[in-house]
Amino acid sequence: MSKTYKICLLPGDGIGPEVIAESVKVLDAIAEKSTFNLEYTTANAGGAAIDAHNDPMPQSTIDACKASNAVLLGAVGGPKWDELTGAMRPESGLLKIRKELDAFANLRPVAVPLSLAESSPLRQSAVVGVDLLTVRELTGGIYFGQPVGNDGNEAFNTMRYSVDEIERVARVAFEWARKRRNKVMSVDKANVLEVSRLWRDTVKTLHEAEYSDVELDHMYIDNATMQMVINPRQFDVILTGNIFGDILSDTSATLGGSLGLLPSASIGSGIGLFEPVHGSAPDIAGQGKANPIAMILSCAMMLDDFDEPAAATAIRKGLEAALEQPLRTADLCNEDYTLATTSEMGDLIRDEIVKQL
């Protein structure tokens, strides 16, 4: 009997519905050639949920997500809701669903094949062949630590991590390294911060006890940021805390030349949230200019999470084949290529993926 995976679609705002539509197109084509079935539920999130429910992440959406095997999110936010504050902002819905799903680890892969190296702001020789994964702790650290305060004269935030929080995200990094090139670079600021000293000691202890087969090195955040620009190919899996992961993953996002290329996943206790990095891009929404690649690659990460490696590999190989064709969406197009709409690029990618199955 074939497996059936239940997927909750959260198209959201801006270009979210457009890229979600292309991901479903691709997934349906894969399912037709595979041994599994896909069932979809669609729910509102972000600004769309505010308009429909006066809540950026209503309980009905949370329930739909929890009843699924995975969640695909398009994007949330836009100028229509910029005047809203606090828990009513579209982005707060994203934080809420991550918490509800206990998604404590954010995965941000970046790969730069030869066909995309010319789009990078760095020299091609520095970025061709880059294939790295940043594993960022997502629910702790200085963004969530207490106490927090601001009396108008002095403000403060608190960076806190427990051994348990560090161990669980480190395990994610080590497990992914075993699937890749077996190398983890743990990034901290242990020469200055007490919390980073605990981070480093905990990662070392876990490594010695459970993952001695994985190569482990350590690097300070300032050097890691520099190395990301000088020699990004040295990295396989980067493990780091919330704020440093924010910095490094955004730095790595520039390597391929467009945010439209970058997928991500937030995982934890079972139900993963898979989304592109690019945001809602309201300035191009509804114009067929959005690049669907990041959303489609997020689907590949979802299939990895489902332990469907053949399907995930087909997406990546099909995408590489599609990028060898003379078509590009607006964010990557120049005089050497023909401009493609979101749907046209989705069709090309789908057709190339099917050839891999």
Examine residue 147 and say whether the peptide bond preceding it is cis (omega within 30 degrees of 0). yes
CATH topology for 131-254 is: Isopropylmalate Dehydrogenase (3.40.718)
- The predicted structure's pLDDT at residue 261: 85
Percent of the chain at pLDDT > 70 equals 100
Residue 102 is among the residues annotated as catalytic for this protein: no
Number of residues in the chain? 357
Assign 3-class secondary structure to the chain. Answer: CCEEEEEEEEEECCCHHHHHHHHHHHHHHHHHCCCEEEEEEECCCCHHHHHHHCCCCCHHHHHHHHCCCEEEEEECCCHHHCCCCHHHCHHHHHHHHHHHCCCCEEEEEEECCHHHHCCCCCCHHHHCCCEEEEEEECCCHHHCCCCCEECCCCEECCCCCCHHHHHHHHHHHHHHHHHCCCEEEEEECCCCCHHHHHHHHHHHHHHHHHCCCCEEEEEEHHHHHHHHHHCHHHCCEEEECHHHHHHHHHHHCCCCCCHHHCEEEEECCCCEEEEECCCCCHHHCCCCCCCCHHHHHHHHHHHHHCCCHHHHHHHHHHHHHHHCCCEECCCCCCCCCEECCHHHHHHHHHHHHHHHC
Of the listed 40, 131, 143, 183, which one is catalytic?
143
Pairing mode of beta strands 3-12, 36-42: parallel
Catalytic residue among 246, 305, 331, 347: 246
Return the domain boundaries, the chain. Answer: 1-103+267-357, 131-254
Question: Per-residue pLDDT averaged across 102-130, rounded?
Answer: 88
User: Which is the catalytic residue, given 40, 80, 99, 222?
Assistant: 222
Query: Per residue in 192-224, pLDDT tens?
Result: 999 999 999 999 999 999 999 999 999 999 999
The pLDDT tens digits for 133-182 are: 999 999 999 988 999 999 999 999 999 999 999 999 999 999 999 999 99
In sequence order, the 6+-apart residues with CB closer than 8 A to the CB of 276 are: 19, 74, 75, 259, 260, 262, 263, 264, 294, 295, 297, 298
Query: Does the annotation mark 5 as catalytic?
Result: no
CB 12 within 8 A of CB 75: yes
Q: pLDDT above 90 covers what percent of the chain? A: 82
What pairing do the DSSP bridges indicate for beta strands 105-111 and 183-188?
Answer: unpaired
pTM, rounded to two decimals = 0.90
Across the range 250-262, mean pLDDT stands at 84
* 289 flagged as catalytic: no
Q: What is the CATH number of domain 1-103+267-357?
A: 3.40.718.10
Measured from the Cβ of residue 78, the count of other Cβ atoms closer than 10 Å reads: 22
Burial class from Cβ neighbours inside 10 Å (0-12, 13-18, 19+) for residue 31 reads middle
Catalytic status, residue 250: yes
Q: Which is more confident, 239 or 2?
A: 239
Q: In the predicted model, what is the mean pLDDT of the chain?
A: 94
Catalytic pick from 55, 189, 211, 236? 189
Domains 1-103+267-357 and 131-254 share a fold: yes
pLDDT over 70 at 1, yes or no: no
Handedness of CA 21, 22, 24, 25 (dihedral sign): positive
